Amino acid sequence: MRNDNQEIVSLRLEATKANSGIYGGAMHPALQEAAFEDKLETCKRLLDAGADPNAQGGRMGSPLHAAVWRGSVDLIWLLLNSGADSSIRDRSGRSALHLSLACRQHVLVLLESGANTNVVDRTGTMPLQSAARSHPRIVPQLLAAGAMAGVRDGCGRSVLHAAMGADKLQFQNVLDHLPESRRKDDLEAALPAVLKQPAEPGSVMLEQCKQIFHLILGEDNIDLSVPDPNGWTALELAECYGLNEEAYVLEQRGAQKGNLQQALRPSCWSSADRNPEVFLSEDKMEAWVTAISPSREVSMQLSSAI
């Protein structure tokens, strides 16, 4: 189906008695293959011939997934107006909205069509958490569309945790949308997390983390000694990572160390990191990660640095 010659498409449809569910390359439904190649006219012909816009299978999951991954806004609208269901999930449990986050136009189209903002993938991650982590400019649109900022992912991490890589304003935006019942707990969990962010000296990322650190400390009634899932408190983490300024501020604010009293940096995987894509060894020193791409599934073994 990679050839967009309409005469060839017509002959194929005629030969199969308008069975537009015939499969294209690598056994993908023909409509999905055409959507993945961004062939708008071919998709129109297939839909007119009765192709199912919600046919599942293949490397992308559904024609809408394929269109969001590779297609144009016009193609996405064509599928939605033809009955495509934006709640269908691919083999990783991702909805079309999960896949759309890299393109603001695609996000807006799906939200306008009523896409569910709170569907979770196999790791328990919602589009909002993915956006907060990698595409923070999309966060306001998701929140405005009803995304729930108080829901944690499959590892128990809050949306605030995911927003560590964003700037202070985006972090504050997520914070402002948290239910009051979650605000204190999520901020306390975010404090150790922000100290562990991989940021190079002098980088924009480091400056953003410092701003978020002081934003958290500016909140009332926050326990500064709540440990992370590995048992490390914010003060211990600041000292271990050589964050002298932050360690001093924490000490002045009365932050305490836990019971670890270790001179080493954290060196094992947290049990909170276990999810459908991550498997931990019994001693938590190794992890097996399964990564699924549109065309293949890859497993790799990771060892914890000591």
* Confidence category of residue 233, pLDDT binned at 50, 70, 90: very high
The string of DSSP letters for 172-208 reads HHHHHTS-HHHHHHHHHHHHHHHHTS---TT-HHHHH
Q: Do domains 1-116 and 124-258 have the same CATH topology?
A: yes
Tens-digit pLDDT profile for residues 173-184 = 889 888 898 999
Tens-digit pLDDT profile for residues 138-195 = 999 999 999 999 898 888 888 998 888 778 888 998 898 888 989 999 999 999 999 9
CATH architecture of 1-116: Alpha Horseshoe (1.25)
Q: Looking at residue 46, what is its pLDDT?
A: 93
pLDDT reading at 287 higher than 80: no
Is the CB of residue 165 less than 8 Å from the CB of residue 151?
A: no
Tens-digit pLDDT profile for residues 13-63 = 544 544 455 544 444 688 998 999 999 999 999 999 999 999 987 778 899
pLDDT reading at 284 higher than 70: no
- Tell me the pairing of strands 278-280 and 286-292: antiparallel
Average pLDDT for the chain? 82
CATH topology (fold) of 124-258: 1.25.40
Is the CB of residue 260 less than 8 Å from the CB of residue 229?
A: no
Torsion sign (Cα): 230, 266, 291, 99 = positive
pLDDT reading at 305 higher than 50: no
Distant-in-sequence, close-in-space partners of 5: CB < 8 Å, separation ≥ 6: none
Report domain extents, the chain.
1-116, 124-258
Strand, helix or coil at 215? helix
Q: Which residue has the higher pLDDT, 230 or 236?
A: 236
Phi, psi dihedrals of residue 77, rounded to the nearest 5°: -60, -40
CA distance 152 to 91: 21
Q: Looking at residue 62, what is its pLDDT?
A: 92
**Whole-number Cα distances in Å, 266 to 188, 212, 214, 242, 301:** 19, 22, 23, 13, 19
Q: What is the pTM of this model?
A: 0.75
Q: Looking at residue 263, what is its pLDDT?
A: 45
Amino acid at 37: E
The string of DSSP letters for 95-120 reads -HHHHHTT-HHHHHHHHHTT--TT--
